[in-house]
């Protein structure tokens, strides 16, 4: 691999995500109504959503997708967007919200470094809702590399962790 200038800065972060959707109102029922994001601006076929007072973490737009179908299986594109919850209780609360809305789960996995719930939004975009364990608890192999896995999660246990 040709590395011209070294690795990316360790404090670089992935910022907001823009998703193409077919119907803004339908998507708002999921991202605002179920997950609890707050709209900060509506602008020309788009809505910008935030957790807290940030300008936006997520944007939904219909600029090239109004009324369109989801991408076909086997095509390239976004696998999922991941939303990090600050506490296990917050992730449990997200599960409670999904269950209250009868929203289907694609899966729930303990990766060792994190616990994750997987769902699809109304446009079939993959959404991972997850909580990270403290870095000191991350599983590592004998060379110090991460040793992530795919263990099952007790859904009822996770729901009980939820903030009420």
pLDDT in tens, 133-150: 999 999 999 999 999 999
Distance CA 128, CA 29 (A): 17
Question: Could you tell me which CATH class the domain 79-164 is placed in?
Answer: alpha beta
Six-digit token string for 24: 């803004």
Quote the CA–CA distance of 146 and 106 in Å, as a whole number: 25
Is pLDDT at 68 greater than 80 in this prediction? yes
User: What pairing do the DSSP bridges indicate for beta strands 58-61 and 17-20?
Assistant: parallel
Written as six digits, the tokens of 76 are 């390239």
Write down the domain spans for the chain. 15-68, 79-164
Same fold, 15-68 and 79-164: yes
3-state secondary structure of 136: helix
Tens digit of each residue's pLDDT (9 = 90 or more) over 91-108: 999 999 999 999 999 999
Which pLDDT belongs to residue 13? 87
- Name the token pair of 12: 């670089």
Q: What is the pLDDT of residue 8?
A: 86
The 10 Å CB-count burial string (b at 16+, else e) for 74-95 is: eeeeeebbebebeebbebbbbb
Say whether domain 15-68 belongs to CATH 2.60.120.340.
no
> Binning pLDDT at 50, 70 and 90, where does residue 164 land?
low
């Amino acid at each position: 691999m040709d590395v011209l200038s070294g690795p990316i800065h360790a404090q670089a972060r992935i910022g907001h995500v823009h998703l193409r959707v077919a119907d803004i109102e339908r998507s708002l029922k999921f991202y605002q109504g179920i997950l609890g994001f707050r709209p900060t601006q509506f602008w020309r076929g788009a809505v910008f959503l935030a957790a807290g007072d940030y300008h936006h973490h997520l944007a939904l737009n219909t600029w090239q997708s109004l009324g369109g179908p989801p991408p076909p299986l086997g095509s390239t594109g976004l696998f999922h967007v991941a939303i990090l919850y600050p506490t296990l209780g917050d992730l449990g609360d997200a599960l409670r919200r999904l269950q209250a809305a009868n929203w289907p789960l694609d899966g729930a996995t303990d990766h060792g470094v994190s616990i994750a719930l997987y769902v699809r939004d109304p446009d079939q975009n993959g959404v991972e809702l997850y909580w990270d364990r403290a870095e000191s608890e991350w599983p590592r192999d004998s060379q110090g590399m991460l040793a992530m896995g795919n263990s099952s999660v007790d859904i009822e246990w996770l729901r009980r962790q939820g903030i009420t």
